[in-house]
Amino acid sequence: MIRNATIEDAFRIAEIQVSSWRAAYRGIIPESYLQGLRAEQRERTWRRFVGDVHSPLLVIHSDGEITGFCHISPSRDSDTHNAAEIIAIYIDPLHWRKGMGHTLCSSALSFAYDHGFSLVTLWTLSKNHSAQCFYEALGFQADGASKSDAMAGFVLDEVRYRFHINQGEQVGGGNRLKPVPHL
């Protein structure tokens, strides 16, 4: 159900990202920007991450079709220690609320655990309350960090969430997520 992405998956990953942005960020990001997103442009970005063992790009399948993806990497934040970061996690909007996001997050945490990380962070838009509720239900907690990214004519305000991994215990020990064996 979950595997590492291949080059052939890059376009589908880009399609999922574009459709997810359009559905999840409507009313948060200007509509003109969302409608200007193109999978062909995003595909190049995702091709760069295929096959990187230190920063895997995972895909989830349903009925033989890729329905979501997750990219996890060592944290890009200088104020975290021994941390991995979920850079992106998106599910095709037609498959929302079917447990795929939970499964991908669990797999990302298993990757972090297997590679000795003690913390997993992620950034989400400060106005994306639906995503925040999803992460909180999984056991992630807002840690007070925030940042703003200037885009083409607008600013994205983001907040950081974190999940502590208890080394030496089952992944998610005391937390809500349960591990999925990493590939």
Q: Supply the CATH number for residue 112's domain.
A: 3.40.630.30
Mean local confidence (pLDDT), 119-147:
96
Instruction: Tell me: pLDDT of 20 over 80.
Output: yes
Instruction: Tell me: pLDDT of 172 over 50.
Output: no
In this predicted structure, which of 20-24, 29-33, 56-60, 61-65 has the lowest mean pLDDT?
61-65
* Structure-token pair, residue 162: 């974190």
Instruction: Tell me: pLDDT of 171 over 90.
Output: no
Total domain count, the chain? 1
Rounded Cα distance between 160 and 35, Å, is: 27
List the end-to-end C-alpha distance of the chain, in Å, as a whole number: 11
Q: Is residue 169 part of a domain?
A: no
pLDDT in the model for residue 176: 47
| Contact status, residue 175 vs residue 110, Cβ threshold 8 Å | no
Q: Is residue 181 part of a domain?
A: no
Q: Is residue 160 part of a domain?
A: yes
Residue 144's SS3 state is strand
Q: Is residue 20 part of a domain?
A: yes
For 8, the domain range is 2-164
- Express as a percent the part of the chain with pLDDT over 70: 91
User: How many CB atoms sit inside 10 A of residue 137's CB?
Assistant: 11
Which stretches within 25-167 are classed as H helix? 31-36, 39-47, 100-114, 129-138
Q: Is residue 183 part of a domain?
A: no
Three-class secondary structure assignment of the chain? CEEECCHHHHHHHHHHHHHHHHHHCECCECHHHHHHCCHHHHHHHHHCCCCCCCCCEEEEEECCEEEEEEEEEECCCCCCCCEEEEEEEEECHHHCCCCHHHHHHHHHHHHHHHCCCCEEEEEEECCCHHHHHHHHHHCCEEEEEEEEEECCCCEEEEEEEEEECCCCCCCCCCCCCCCCCCC
For the stretch 73-95, pLDDT in tens is 999 999 999 999 999 999 999 99
Q: Is residue 112 part of a domain?
A: yes
Q: Is residue 48 part of a domain?
A: yes
pLDDT band at 167 (very low <50, low <70, confident <90, very high): low
pLDDT mean across residues, the chain: 90
Q: Is residue 100 part of a domain?
A: yes
Residue 137's SS3 state is helix
Q: At residue 12, what are phi and psi to the nearest 5 degrees?
A: -65, -40
Rounded Cα distance between 108 and 161, Å, is: 14
